[in-house]
């Protein structure tokens, strides 16, 4: 009964708010969302069912101009101001009273539990990290047992031979005889050849892998980061996160600190909810509840899996291509803005590099560095010849190998 009563009273209070929750949602997202969440404390308090705590009238006053309310000496207003260490909430003189009502309606609507979703989260199995364990020890023990058996059998055989009065042989002699006979046997030889060939091929494969001849390589990353969402839908510039690409030889993998620039506010993603974003918090030691960094936290770097890996014998410089050459990232990395998971788009072989250097035109006109060189090149190749990277020495070995 008591529960019923409370529920009723809530609905009774809620009924006082007459507003359009749909319009409220839009207004909320544009004006409030950067500091408030419905269910959690952020820069400001959680706003879910705020109408239960404060009267609508007070809220309207506070939202439209909280400073005025504070100056009027309203105790509640001063208390809340103190609670959030005097961080000032901006005034919203642009909002009409009805707008505020709409927002408040949304705070009620938005915090109603979504039944379907609720079931899902409740029933979702907790991911248990599989502990594969290290089985090297097991193998060593097995090998040990086998070796022991071999020795044991050899001794048994010798004892039997001794009893029979036959000459005994040592283990190495046995092994020698075995190898000699085996090598004379064409079948064993064939099998051996095949084994060796397979090992050779496997090594070749591993060799190619190590120089990253691995087009299409698409490993699973520790965080299900979606370039499609960030670069494609949200149109975040590549160099916002990979800022090194413009300046340095490396296009850096962004530090988790860079993620935090946005994800301090955006604590929930559209696809995986909080699960993936929580991994960033885990790395930097951010407590989303307290909205603060955890003190003395041992940071855990995110172990990304490297996809593009040129061998050490080739020198590649991002800045040369991005800043000096004016290339788009997509030229080599493919339609990254459409990739849910990143894969190696280009072959990254030397032929691929060379081909591009043969075809790509150098922006000699727009860069003063090339001014003098361009004059000479015009003499050499004609007034309006297309100056390719090759013509300015882009195919020379020492440009990439040193």
Partner 1 sequence: MAENKKYWRGIAELENPELTEKLGANEFADDLPTSEFLGDKEKLESSSTTRRDFLKYMGFSTAAATIAACESPVYESLPYVVAPEEVIPGIANYYATTYFDGYDFSSVLIKTREGRPIKVENNKLAKYNGGANTRVHASVLNLYDATRLQKPLAAGKETTWAELDDAVIKGMAAADAAGKQVVLLTSTVMSPTTLKLVNQLAEKYANFKHVAADALSYSEKLDAIEAATGKRALPTYDFTKASVIVSFGADFLGDWTGQRVSGDYAKRRVPGKDMSRHIQFESNLSLTGSNADKRYKVTQAQMGNELVALHNAIASAKGKRTLPAASSKYAKEMDSIAQELIKAGKNALVVNGANNADYEHVAIAINQMLGNDGTTLSYSERAYFRSGNDRKAEALVADMKAGKVGALMVHNLNPVYSLPKSWAFADALKKVETTVAISQKNDETASLCKYVAAENNPLESWGDYQPVDGYYTLQQPVIQKLFNTRQLEECLMSWTKESGSYQSFLKNNWGSSILGSKLWSEALHDGVFTSNAQPADGAVLGAATNESDTTATANSGTTGSVNLDASANRIKNAKAPKFELNFYAKVGMGAGILANNPWLQEFPDPLTRISWDNYLTISKADAVELGLNNTTESNGAINGMYVTLTANGQKLEKVPALIQPGQAKGTVGLAVGYGRQGAGKVADGVGVNAFTIMNGAHSAPVEIEVMTDAEEHGFASVQLAHTMMGRNIVKETDLQTFLTKPAQSESGDGWNQKPVFETYSGPMDADNANLWDDFDHETGHMWNMSIDLNLCDGCGACVIACHSENNVPVVGKEEVRKHRDMHWLRIDRYYSSETTEETASEEGQSAIDMYADMEEPSENPEVFFQPVMCQHCNHAPCETVCPVAATTHSQEGLNHMTYNRCIGTRYCANNCPYKVRRFNWFLYHDNPGRFGDNYSMNDDLGRMVLNPDVTVRSRGVMEKCSMCIQRIQLGKLEAKKNGVALKDGQVKTACQSACDSNAIVFGDVNNKESQVFKLKEDKRMYHLLEEVGTQPSVFYQVKVRNKRA
Evaluate whether 104 touches 29 at the Cβ level (below 8 Å): no
Query: Which lies closer to partner 1 via its Cβ, residue 31 or residue 265?
Result: 265
From candidates 262, 273, 309, 331, binder to partner 1 by CB under 8 A: 309
| One of 42, 258, 339, 354 touching partner 1 (CB under 8 A) | 258
* CA triple 125-130-135, angle to 5 deg: 165
Is 358 a binding residue for partner 1 by CB under 8 A? The answer is no
- Tell me if 343 contacts partner 1 by CB under 8 A: no
CB 395 within 8 A of CB 388: no
Applying CB under 8 A, does 317 fall inside the site for partner 1? yes
Q: According to the binding rule CB under 8 A, does residue 339 interact with partner 1?
A: no
> Does residue 10 touch partner 1 according to CB under 8 A?
no
Nearest distance, CB of residue 166 and partner 1, angstroms: 41
Among candidate residues 99, 49, 53, the one with its CA nearest the CA of residue 79? 53
* Interface with partner 1, residue 369, by CB under 8 A: yes
Residues 213, 215: Cα–Cα separation, whole Å: 6
Q: Does 294 bind partner 1 (CB under 8 A)?
A: no
Which tokens is 303 given?
A: 């172990």
Answer yes or no: are the C-beta atoms of 174 and 154 closer than 8 Å. Answer: yes
**Rounded Cα distance, 299 and 305, in Å:** 19
CB of 317 to partner 1, least distance (A): 7
Q: Does 209 bind partner 1 (CB under 8 A)?
A: yes
- Three-state SS at 214: coil
Least distance CB 115 / partner 1 (angstroms): 39
Instruction: Indicate which single residue of 304, 330, 343, 349 sits in contact with partner 1 (rule: CB under 8 A).
Output: 304
Is 303 an interacting residue with respect to partner 1 (CB under 8 A)?
Answer: yes
Q: What single DSSP character describes residue 269?
A: B
**334, 345 Cβ separation under 8 angstroms:** yes
Q: Are 214 and 285 in contact (CB under 8 A)?
A: no
Q: Does 148 bind partner 1 (CB under 8 A)?
A: no
* Nearest C-alpha neighbor of 110 from the set 32, 7, 8: 32
Site string for partner 1, 161-200 (x = CB under 8 A): ---------------------------------x--xx--
Strand-pair partners of 286: 293
Q: CA 139, CA 105: separation in Å to the nearest integer?
A: 65
Closest contact distance (angstroms) between CB of 223 and partner 1 is 12
Residues that bind partner 1 (CB under 8 A): 194, 197-198, 201-202, 205-206, 209-210, 214, 217, 219, 243-244, 247-250, 252-258, 283-284, 299-306, 309, 312-313, 315, 317-320, 323-324, 366-369, 371-373, 376-377, 380, 392-393, 396-399, 401-402
């Amino acid at each position: 009964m008591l529960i019923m009563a409370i529920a009723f009273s809530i609905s009774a209070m809620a009924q006082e708010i007459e507003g359009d929750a749909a319009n409220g949602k839009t207004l909320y997202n544009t004006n409030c969302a950067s500091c408030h969440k419905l269910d959690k404390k952020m820069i400001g308090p959680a706003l879910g069912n705020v109408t239960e705590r404060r009267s609508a009238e007070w809220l309207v006053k506070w939202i439209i101009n909280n400073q005025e309310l504070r100056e009027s000496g309203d105790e509640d207003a001063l208390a809340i101001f103190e609670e959030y260490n005097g961080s000032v909430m901006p005034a919203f003189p642009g909002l009409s009273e009805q707008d505020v009502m709409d927002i408040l309606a949304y705070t009620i609507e938005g915090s109603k539990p979504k039944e379907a979703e609720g079931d899902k989260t409740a029933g979702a199995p907790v991911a248990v990290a599989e502990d594969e364990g290290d089985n090297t020890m097991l193998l060593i023990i097995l090998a040990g047992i086998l070796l022991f058996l071999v020795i044991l059998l050899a001794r048994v055989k010798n004892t039997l031979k001794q009893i029979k009065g036959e000459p005994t042989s040592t283990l190495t002699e046995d092994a020698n005889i075995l190898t000699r006979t085996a090598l004379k046997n064409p079948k064993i030889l064939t099998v051996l050849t095949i084994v060796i060939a397979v090992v050779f091929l496997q090594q070749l494969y591993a060799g190619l892998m190590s120089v990253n001849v691995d087009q299409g390589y698409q490993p699973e990353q520790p965080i299900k980061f979606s370039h499609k969402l960030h670069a494609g839908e949200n149109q975040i510039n590549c160099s916002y996160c990979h800022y090194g690409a413009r300046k340095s030889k490396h296009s850096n993998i962004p530090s988790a600190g860079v993620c935090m620039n946005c994800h301090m506010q955006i604590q929930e993603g559209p696809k995986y909810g909080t699960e993936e974003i929580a991994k960033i918090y885990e790395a930097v030691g951010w407590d989303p509840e307290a909205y603060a960094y955890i003190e003395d936290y041992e940071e855990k770097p995110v172990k990304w899996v490297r996809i593009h890996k040129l061998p050490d014998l080739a020198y590649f410089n991002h800045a040369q291509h991005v800043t000096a050459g004016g290339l788009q990232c997509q030229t080599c990395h493919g339609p990254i803005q459409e990739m849910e998971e990143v894969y190696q788009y280009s072959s990254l072989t030397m032929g691929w590099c060379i081909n591009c250097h043969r075809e790509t035109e150098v922006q000699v006109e727009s860069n003063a560095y090339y001014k003098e060189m361009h004059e000479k090149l015009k003499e050499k190749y004609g007034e309006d010849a297309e100056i390719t990277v090759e013509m300015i020495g882009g195919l020379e070995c020492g440009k990439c190998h040193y």
